[in-house]
Amino acid sequence: MQGTIKKLTDKNFGFIAQESGDDLFFHANNLDGVSFEELREGDAVMFEVEETPKGKAAVNVKKA
């Protein structure tokens, strides 16, 4: 799936705006080939969606 980094926090997590659907949470541990420090709000990313105990989250997040 594809989306855009909507919000980054200083606690190593952020949110991705999907092309359709709700925003998705992601954590720095779920990045693939990019460090959290390299990401900027507005960056295009590709990711997979995984069901977690707290709801859906983005995993295997990488720059598009």
In this prediction, residues 4-30 reach a mean pLDDT of: 96
Domains identified in the chain and CATH numbers: 2-63 (2.40.50.140)
Residue 26: partners with Cβ closer than 8 Å, 6 or more residues away: 13, 14, 15, 16, 47, 57, 58, 59, 61
Determine the 3-state secondary structure of 55 from DSSP: strand
Residue 61: partners with Cβ closer than 8 Å, 6 or more residues away: 16, 26, 30, 31, 32, 34, 45, 46, 47
> Chain-centre distance of CA 37, in angstroms?
13
Full-model pTM: 0.93
pLDDT digits (tens, 9 = 90+) for 22-51: 999 999 999 999 999 999 999 999 999 999
